[in-house]
Amino acid sequence: MTSAPSAAQTGNGGPATEEFPDHIAIIMDGNGRWANGRGLPRAVGHERGVEALRRTVEAAQEIGLKTLTVYSFSTENWRRPVSEVNALFGLLKAYVKRDLNRLAQEGVKIRILGTRQGLPDDILELVKRAEDRTADNDAFNLCIAFNYGGREEVLRAAKAMASAVEEGRTSASEVDEAAFSEFLDTGGLPDPDILIRTSGEYRLSNFLIWQAAYAELVFMDVLWPDFGKHHLLEAVETYRKRERRFGGLSSGAA
């Protein structure tokens, strides 16, 4: 069960935004703790986490969201035991194999964020199949950050931009924030309006560190396997109570 956001968490104090978010990003945290709290193997927690992902994708479509980005496997997760890494890979394969056709038919476009370096061949094939199968869809964007790290993404983007300058495809004088953003894994998508982290932790954990510069942060005490539609709606309601200033003054300031 989520706790009511505190004043510090909600950022209240100015007129609320009337906008509905286009893009929500989620750090899906708490699978292991969910399992440990029930005396179950961590792998069971990850399995329940996939079920929560299915619920959340469905809920995001139902409420009219355009883009959902989820943090599935970070570049730092390679430090975990081999058995757990393999289990996480297996769950990605199971999710794509079970849900890809349905998602494609629903107009969902899948984009896998992160580096391909170091991924096994079967995962690479799966990633390509998911992206190719849904490439022409435009009803809903599902971005899965897999083998992803925010700093690594920015570094790759900087190298790609430098290559573009060297090859004459652009010039250094033409590079601004908008141009640089196109070199990121999320190029062409809006930045997230809301970034949710479950499990009660208060960190970004190297997730969307460029894109989330002005995202509204919502931290929830619920463990990811228990996350559902009402939590998503709660985050949207929290967002709509906040005033987004993007570095400017409050609209009520003298």
- What is the rounded distance in angstroms from the CA atom of residue 99 to the CA atom of residue 114? 21
CB neighbour burial string for 37-48, b if at least 16 within 10 angstroms, e if fewer: eeeeebbbbbbb
Q: What is the DSSP string of 17-73?
A: P-PPPSEEEEE---HHHHHHTTT--HHHHHHHHHHHHHHHHHHHHHTT-SEEEEEEE
Task: Give the confidence band of 84 by pLDDT, cuts at 50, 70, 90.
Answer: confident
Q: Is the pLDDT of residue 14 over 60?
A: no
pLDDT at 170 over 70: yes
DSSP 241: T
Q: Is 29 a catalytic residue?
A: yes
- The residue whose two tokens read 């038919």 is 105
- Residue 247 structure tokens: 């570095």
pLDDT in tens, 205-222: 999 999 999 999 999 999
Each residue's pLDDT tens digit, 36-70? 999 999 999 999 999 999 999 999 999 999 999 99
Catalytic one among 77, 137, 206, 226? 77
Closest CA to 95 of 117, 72, 79: 72
What order of strands is seen across the sheet that includes strand 216-219?
108-113, 140-148, 67-74, 23-27, 194-197, 216-219
Q: What integer is the mean pLDDT of 149-177?
A: 96
98-126 confidence digits (pLDDT tens) = 999 999 999 999 999 999 999 999 999 99
**In the chain, what are the domains?**
19-240 (3.40.1180.10)
25: tokens are 């990003």
Q: Contact, 218 vs 194, CB < 8 A?
A: yes
CA distance 232 to 34: 19
Instruction: Specify the pLDDT at position 153.
Output: 98
pLDDT of residue 243: 76
Beta bridge partners of 27: 71, 197
Would you say 150 and 210 are in contact if contact means Cβ atoms under 8 Å apart?
yes
Please confirm, yes or no, whether 77 is among the known catalytic residues: yes
In the set 29, 99, 191, 193, the catalytic residue is 29
